[in-house]
Amino acid sequence: MTSDPSSILVVDDDPLVLEIITQMLSTLGYTATPVNNGAAAIDEVRRREYEVAMIDLCMPGLSGLDTIKKIRQIRPDMEIIIMTGNPTLESTLAAIDVRVFAYLCKPMHFNMVARTIQNASERHHLIRQNRELIRQLEAERARLQKQVAADRQAFERHIAKSPGFSGESEPMMRVRRQIAEVAPSDMTVLIRGESGTGKDVVARLISELSGYGGSGGFVK
């Protein structure tokens, strides 16, 4: 599958309209791929990724709306512009249902085509960029979560080997988990407990694991 982000798919059963729009788009710096029926349009979007398609509403065989519905199943994010020489309220509402970007009435003026194509192309790029940013953020979040989990497990193993922190009772395991959770952070930690319960030992272990080497930083 190839992808040409500057290529626009144009679908119309009228060869004169195809020629005019192709020339318009060429003047604007785009490469138009003209096809004269809905079935050919569907074959094109299966073969190639277009960012924008201009589709005639009324065509013999597969109608414009039916063509759009099938294209949506293949390329749900493709920007689609409907063209029609017979605008009606019914077709306008149907166009909204299939999420078209714009609804242009023939004859179409050059400036209108230029502005609409540019806006559709920009929207397509923004959506793709946003999706890529989200993908990168999710990948980074997953990496950090994995790293945090690995660090926490390493801390817990280290803590379990420290004097006074061995054992597999639930209270002891909970203390180890809590130490492992707070040790990597640089926040102030308040340790409370009765005298003789090992608060100093916990404090020095947290300081050691945090990278401060267990020296200083304690307020009793």
What's the average model confidence in pLDDT over 20-44? 94
Q: What is the CATH number of the domain that holds 39?
A: 3.40.50.2300
Average confidence (pLDDT) over 50-68: 93
Domain boundary among 134, 149, 181: 134
pLDDT at 213 over 60: no
Residues 179, 94 share a domain: no
Helices of type H across 28-165: 38-47, 64-74, 89-97, 110-161
Q: Classify burial at 199, counting beta carbons within 10 Å of its beta carbon; exposed 0-12, middle 13-18, buried 19 or more.
A: middle
What range does the domain containing 59 cover?
2-134
Tell me what the mean pLDDT of segment 46-70 comes to: 93
Indicate whether 124 belongs to any domain: yes
Mean pLDDT, the chain, as a whole number?
83
CA 87, 121, 18, 99 dihedral sign is: negative
Query: Total structural domains in the chain?
Result: 2
**Domain assignment present for 181:** yes
Share of the chain above pLDDT 70, in %: 81
Same domain for 113 and 7: yes
Whether residues 88 and 173 fall in one domain: no
For the cut 90, the answer to whether the pLDDT of residue 129 exceeds it is no
- Residues 36, 106, single domain; the answer is yes
**Exposed / middle / buried, residue 25 (Cβ in 10 Å: 0-12, 13-18, 19+):** buried
Question: What does the pLDDT read at residue 50?
Answer: 92
Are 119 and 183 found together in one domain? no
* More confident of the two residues 214 and 102: 102
Give the pLDDT of residue 1: 41
114 is a domain residue: yes
Q: What is the pLDDT of residue 182?
A: 75
- The reported pLDDT for the residue numbered 189 is 72
Same domain, 30 and 127: yes
Residues 102 and 210 in one domain: no
CA distance 59 to 33: 17
